[in-house]
A and B are shown apart, each in its own frame.
Chain A
Amino acid sequence: MIRFDRVTKRYPPDITALADVSAEIGAGELVAVLGHSGAGKSTLLKLIPAIERPTSGSVLVNGQNVGALGRKALPYLRRNIGLVFQDQKLLFDRSVLANVLLPLEIAGFAPKEAKRRAEAALDKAGLLARARALPVALSGGEQQRLAIARAVAHRPALLLADEPTAYLDADTARDVANIFTEFHRVGVTVLLATYDAGLFPAARPLRLDHGRLA
């Protein structure tokens, strides 16, 4: 489903975040990208929805070289991926429900259907009762679950998550980790970056060390 082919990513002026990385992630796999801070985990994930583009080498998603996609094609790639960002990127001026509605509206669902799916996603994340609240009123763990609900509301076949359990206490981290294991179980391809490999025993590890695959 995803293939990294000799991918190098340099940031200006001369930071090499990824060096000659080759890897393959099959459909339905659960893969954990591991490594120290600054190892290049986030960079690796960002290459898939073409938030960053490789300096050399290629990233193929479903056979499509995403590094070469034009501006007009990008939205259609991204709509098929669920993204949980390291910094969550919730919109704090709209309700919990409106946050989850956003990707559905972007995908062009009719208002009724979008609402149905958003509420289903919130229900699964245990946040349905908080649908009308603003995200600031949620706890850290709840905000993380909201970010996940937003990522999966449109039922993407591929789910990317960057440190989804960071800053959570051990119990909450386990709950959140279980959500991803659940998605993996129902056939979603899951690729996540984490410090804590122990939370994802079922995941195939992909270890990065200073931008190189170890």
Chain B
Amino acid sequence: MRWLGAHWNALRLALRRLAAAPLNTLLAALGIGIALALPAGGALLLNHVTAMTQGMPATPQLTAFLAVDAERKTALAAATRIRNLPGVARTQLLAREDTLARMKSGALADAIGVLPNNPFPDAIVVTPADSINEVPAAIEQLAATLRQWKEIEHVQVDADWARRLAAFVRLARTALLLLAALLGVGLVAITFGTIRLQLLTRRAEVEVSRLLGATDGFIRRPFLWHGALLGWLGGIAAWLIVAAAILWLRLPLAELAQLYGFDLLLALPDAAASAALLAGAALLGWLGALLSMRQFLRGME
């Protein structure tokens, strides 16, 4: 009860001080907000991309294309040969006339209709064995082997770009973590500086409090609340910035993704993510204030 009363007093004092200098408060919150919006927005985008890539085929497939003028029996022989290679589970021959028929019912029907000849070659879809899937390089090796065969014109590793995207997402995640850590330190530095300025103008208050028997804890309390509230306000600013960016970018980004055949519609951060953002920002603000207080109280000895 006593503890609660003490915190209530300190919180009111901190709120009054924030309100007493609204412009300073606003600028500090905005500074923190901008610093936080970058990693927060990045994390949100990355989560969407990750969710999107999870819908893509995880098992890579190889497609080996023969020459357009290759005979059917060459294709059949090649398919059999491939099936007998180690690391291959299945093969399936896609006859060139089937491919043409499929394409004629697709989006490019008009363009294909005017062609004099069937432009598609026979193709062999190779499904690697599960054992090979765990070693990405093994698929590349299989592709390299097939590329050396003279009857095969071209080899395509279907999940190639998906794997590249996954690798990119992994890299982006690490970079984002680094950025978040860096800007987190920035946030701590901002509140450290703000509280330091506060302390310089409130030196008399700290001294009098000490003379009247205040513990360090008592003296720290309103300043820690001040820092936490600043961080929290910064978190709100960051949330608003991210939300505004999403509302601006969601449609153009969705259109861009559509071009690649993906559904990517950004949504506002959910309750849990929003709460985590605000709590994390408050915690960092509190930490900045704590470090500032520690330095100040040591200097007063």
Give A contacts to B, CB under 8 Å.
49, 51, 74-81, 83, 85, 89, 91, 93, 102-103, 105-111
Question: In the complex where A89-B208, A102-B208, A106-B218 touch, is A78 in contact with B213 (Cβ < 8 A)?
Answer: yes
Q: Mark the stretch among B4-12, B164-172, B184-192 that contacts chain A.
A: B4-12
Q: How far is the CA of A51 from the CA of B218 in the complex (A)?
A: 18
Question: Could you tell me if B9 and A111 are in contact, using CB atoms closer than 8 angstroms?
Answer: yes
Chain B contact-residue range equals 10 to 19
Question: Could you tell me if B9 and A105 are in contact, using CB atoms closer than 8 angstroms?
Answer: yes
Please count the residue pairs between chain A and chain B whose beta carbons lie under 8 angstroms apart in the complex: 52
Q: Distance in Å from the Cβ of B256 to the closest Cβ of chain A?
A: 55
Q: Distance in Å from the Cβ of A167 to the closest Cβ of chain B?
A: 20
Residues of A close to B208: CB separation below 8 A? 89, 91, 102
**At the interface, yes or no: B204 with Cβ under 8 Å from chain A?**
yes
**At the interface, yes or no: B107 with Cβ under 8 Å from chain A?**
no
Q: How far is the CA of A109 from the CA of B9 in the complex (A)?
A: 11
Secondary structure call for the B interface: helix
Q: How far is the CA of A169 from the CA of B61 in the complex (A)?
A: 100
Give the residue name and chain of the B residue nearest to A90 (CB).
Answer: B208
Q: Distance in Å from the Cβ of A78 to the closest Cβ of chain B?
A: 3
Residues of B close to A76: CB separation below 8 A? 213
| Of listed B205, B207, B208, residue having the most chain A CB within 10 A | B208
**At the interface, yes or no: B131 with Cβ under 8 Å from chain A?**
no
Question: Could you tell me if A83 and B212 are in contact, using CB atoms closer than 8 angstroms?
Answer: yes
Question: Could you tell me if B1 and A110 are in contact, using CB atoms closer than 8 angstroms?
Answer: yes
Question: Could you tell me if A108 and B2 are in contact, using CB atoms closer than 8 angstroms?
Answer: yes
Question: Could you tell me if B6 and A108 are in contact, using CB atoms closer than 8 angstroms?
Answer: yes
Pairs across A and B, CB under 8 Å, 27 listed: A49-B211, A51-B211, A75-B210, A75-B214, A75-B215, A75-B218, A78-B213, A79-B213, A80-B213, A83-B211, A85-B211, A89-B208, A89-B211, A91-B204, A102-B208, A102-B212, A103-B212, A103-B213, A105-B6, A105-B9, A105-B218, A106-B213, A106-B214, A106-B218, A107-B213, A110-B2, A111-B8
Give the residue name and chain of the A residue nearest to B217 (CB).
Answer: A75
Question: Could you tell me if A78 and B211 are in contact, using CB atoms closer than 8 angstroms?
Answer: yes
Question: Could you tell me if B214 and A111 are in contact, using CB atoms closer than 8 angstroms?
Answer: no
Give the residue name and chain of the B residue nearest to A88 (CB).
Answer: B208
Q: How far is the CA of A110 from the CA of B2 in the complex (A)?
A: 6
Q: Distance in Å from the Cβ of B2 to the closest Cβ of chain A?
A: 5
**At the interface, yes or no: B209 with Cβ under 8 Å from chain A?**
yes
Give the residue name and chain of the B residue nearest to A110 (CB).
Answer: B5
Q: How far is the CA of A91 from the CA of B5 in the complex (A)?
A: 21
**B residues 1-25 touching A (CB-CB < 8 Å):** 1-2, 5-6, 8-9
Q: How far is the CA of A94 from the CA of B89 in the complex (A)?
A: 81
Residues of B close to A110: CB separation below 8 A? 1-2, 5
Q: How far is the CA of A111 from the CA of B5 in the complex (A)?
A: 6
Q: Mark B60-93, 1 if CB is under 8 A from A, else 0.
A: 0000000000000000000000000000000000
Q: Distance in Å from the Cβ of A134 to the closest Cβ of chain B?
A: 13
Q: Distance in Å from the Cβ of B261 to the closest Cβ of chain A?
A: 63
Residues of A close to B6: CB separation below 8 A? 105, 108
Q: Distance in Å from the Cβ of A74 to the closest Cβ of chain B?
A: 8
Q: How far is the CA of A80 from the CA of B214 in the complex (A)?
A: 12
Residues of B close to A80: CB separation below 8 A? 213
| Of listed B204, B205, B211, residue having the most chain A CB within 10 A | B211
Q: Distance in Å from the Cβ of A49 to the closest Cβ of chain B?
A: 7
Q: Distance in Å from the Cβ of A132 to the closest Cβ of chain B?
A: 14
Question: Could you tell me if B209 and A106 are in contact, using CB atoms closer than 8 angstroms?
Answer: yes
Which 9 A-B pairs have CB atoms at the shortest separation, nearest pair first? Answer: A78-B213, A79-B213, A75-B213, A106-B214, A103-B212, A75-B215, A110-B5, A89-B208, A108-B2
Residues of A close to B214: CB separation below 8 A? 75, 106
Apart from A76-B213, A79-B213, A111-B9: 14 A-B pairs, beta carbons within 8 A: A75-B213, A78-B212, A78-B213, A89-B204, A89-B207, A89-B208, A91-B204, A102-B212, A105-B6, A106-B209, A106-B212, A106-B218, A110-B5, A111-B5
Give the residue name and chain of the B residue nearest to A102 (CB).
Answer: B212
Q: Distance in Å from the Cβ of A121 to the closest Cβ of chain B?
A: 14
Give the residue name and chain of the B residue nearest to A112 (CB).
Answer: B5
Give the residue name and chain of the B residue nearest to A82 (CB).
Answer: B212
Residues of B close to A108: CB separation below 8 A? 2, 5-6
Residues of B close to A105: CB separation below 8 A? 6, 9, 218
Q: How far is the CA of A77 from the CA of B214 in the complex (A)?
A: 10
Q: How far is the CA of A85 from the CA of B6 in the complex (A)?
A: 26
Residues of A close to B8: CB separation below 8 A? 111
**B residues 195-239 touching A (CB-CB < 8 Å):** 204-205, 207-215, 218
Residues of A close to B5: CB separation below 8 A? 108-111
